[in-house]
Amino acid sequence: MPAKNLKQSPTSALPTARATIADVARAAGVSKATVSRFLNHRDKLLTRDIATRVEVAIAALAYSPSPMAQALKRGRSRLIGLVVADVTNPFSVAVLRGAEKACQEAGYLLMLFNLGNDSRRESEAIEALTAYQVEGFILNTLGRDAGAAADAARHGKPVVLVDRRHNDMQADFVSLDNAGAVRLGARHLVEAGYRELLFVSEPIKDVSSRMEREAAFRSFISESAANVAGLQGRTFETTEEDTEGLDNALRSLRQRASGRGLPGMISSNAVVSVRVVAAMARLGWRFGADLGLVGFDETEWSPYVGPGLSTIAQPTDELGQVAAGCLIERIKGLELPPRQILLSGRLVPRGSSVPAP
């Protein structure tokens, strides 16, 4: 069958491109500088006839100036870059909400870059956000890439670190009081009668918050052992892939505690708590009856797991707001030595840390 000749209307081929300031100038028969004067409310410098022609051209072309372009002309983008290690971690999401709230109140927008726990992308994140002309950075990264922090400083942008330090970086630092929070949870377990304790964390090396929590746990065991008979504590590092390793660590913990009461555990964040909950299900164990647990991070699901998970609630909303507030102060020109702001955690006791009769 012979092909039919199809005619296509020239106006239906492609969507109309967004009008530019040059298009407006051409339609009005004026220069781009004249259009710019009109847009910047300097039409008093123009005759009524020229101002009317520009106004008509803008309406006919449905032209609207780019907010980003206008901000950059003023040297201000009012954008703040937030880099997080893992957006699936409830802690990061909660800090994001707090920071976003403070930014909105101050007239700034927050741009998020998620590393997906890949420290090799830290420099990439800084470069990408810099390309969008952010005015400063809030960094909640792994802190393993010293070059990334140097990149931020090289661009002349103020930086605030959240939760995790960067070696040798002079910047405001906002975090939970990790040592105080660990002692809060460990003391609670000891007072409940647990004597064999295990601190479970994601890989600790070079991540400051994990290092601080593990060191605080060891310090608590060392200091308390003289006054609490039989108190012992160990550390275990867990990964997402090694479920068998975690199961074996729990079995060993329970075996060591045999004859001395129930074993107790502190999980270093909500991600680890979920892994422990899964391990308990695989082993057929129950919180309170077979194992006591206090986990970092108060999540929406904590009250509904088993008898309820005891947690150390971090002031995540406040952490985000304080970090954003510190950064905005720096953007506005505040010059002070780097500040360290540590906020207290809060124990939320539930059934997981109450030994069953």
Cα–Cα dist 154/151, whole Å: 5
Report the pLDDT averaged over residues 17-31. Answer: 87
Asked whether the predicted pLDDT for residue 213 surpasses 70, the reply is: yes
What would the mean pLDDT of 53-76 be, rounded to a whole number? 73
What architecture does CATH give domain 79-176+317-343? 3-Layer(aba) Sandwich (3.40)
First to last CA, the chain: 87
For CATH 3.40.50.2300, the residue range(s) in the chain are 79-176+317-343, 178-314+346-353
Every domain range in the chain assigned CATH 1.10.260.40: 15-65
**pLDDT tens column, 156-172:** 889 999 998 887 778 89
Per-residue burial over 241-269, b = 16 or more CB atoms within 10 Å of its CB, e = otherwise: eeeeebeebbeebbeebeeeebbbbbbbb
Task: Yes or no: say if 321 and 102 are a contact pair by the CB < 8 Å rule.
Answer: yes
According to the model, what pLDDT value does residue 116 have?
86
Query: What pLDDT is recorded for position 296?
Result: 97
pLDDT of residue 130: 85
Give 6 or 242, the one with higher predicted confidence. 242
| 236 bridge partner residues | 200
Q: Which of 334, 345, 322 is nearest to 138 (CA)?
A: 322
Using CA atoms, how far residue 40 sits from 225, 315, 333, in Å, is 72, 44, 26
Give the start-end residues of each E strand in 270-331: 292-296, 310-313
CA gap 150, 144 in Å, rounded: 12
How far apart CA 58 and CA 35 sit, in angstroms, is: 9
Task: Check residue 147 and give its pLDDT.
Answer: 67
Mean pLDDT on 44-52: 83
pLDDT score for 63? 85
pLDDT at residue 185 tops 90: yes
pLDDT at 178 over 60: yes
Contact 275, 294 (CB under 8 A): no
Pairwise pLDDT comparison (3 vs 245), residue with the higher score? 245
- Name the band, by pLDDT with cuts 50, 70 and 90, for residue 288: very high
CATH number of 178-314+346-353: 3.40.50.2300
Band the pLDDT of 356: cuts 50, 70, 90. confident
Token look-up 């009524």 returns: 48
Q: What is the mean pLDDT of the segment spanning 108-133?
A: 87
For the stretch 227-231, contacts whose Cβ atoms lie closer than 8 Å and that sit 24 or more positions apart, written own/partner, are 228/190, 228/195, 229/195, 230/195, 230/196, 230/260, 231/190, 231/195, 231/197
Closest Cα to residue 347, out of 299, 300, 304, 297? 297
CA torsion sign for 216, 218, 220, 223 is negative
- Whether the per-residue pLDDT at 16 is higher than 70: the answer is no
For 15-65, the fitting CATH number among 3.40.50.2300, 1.10.3720.10, 1.10.1740.10, 1.10.260.40 is 1.10.260.40
**How confident is the model over 61-87, as a mean pLDDT?**
75
What's residue 68's pLDDT?
Answer: 56
What is the average pLDDT across 219-236? 93
Check residues 2 and 321 and name the one with the higher pLDDT: 321
Region at 249 (left for phi over 0; alpha for psi -120 to 50; beta for the rest): alpha
Please determine, for residue 247, whether its predicted confidence score (pLDDT) is greater than 90.
Answer: yes
Q: What is the mean pLDDT of residues 253-273?
A: 92
Share of the chain above pLDDT 90, in %: 59
The confidence score (pLDDT) of residue 75 equals 58
Taking CA atoms, 69 is separated from 66, 258, 354, in Å, by 5, 68, 59
* 3 state SS of 246: helix
User: What's the pLDDT score for residue 43?
Assistant: 61
Task: Of 353, 351, 357, 22, give the one whose Cα is nearest residue 190.
Answer: 353
**Mean pLDDT over the full length of the chain:** 87
pLDDT band at 73 (very low <50, low <70, confident <90, very high): low
Where are the extended beta strands (E) located within the chain? Answer: 79-84, 109-114, 137-140, 159-162, 172-176, 196-201, 232-237, 263-267, 292-296, 310-313, 340-343, 346-348
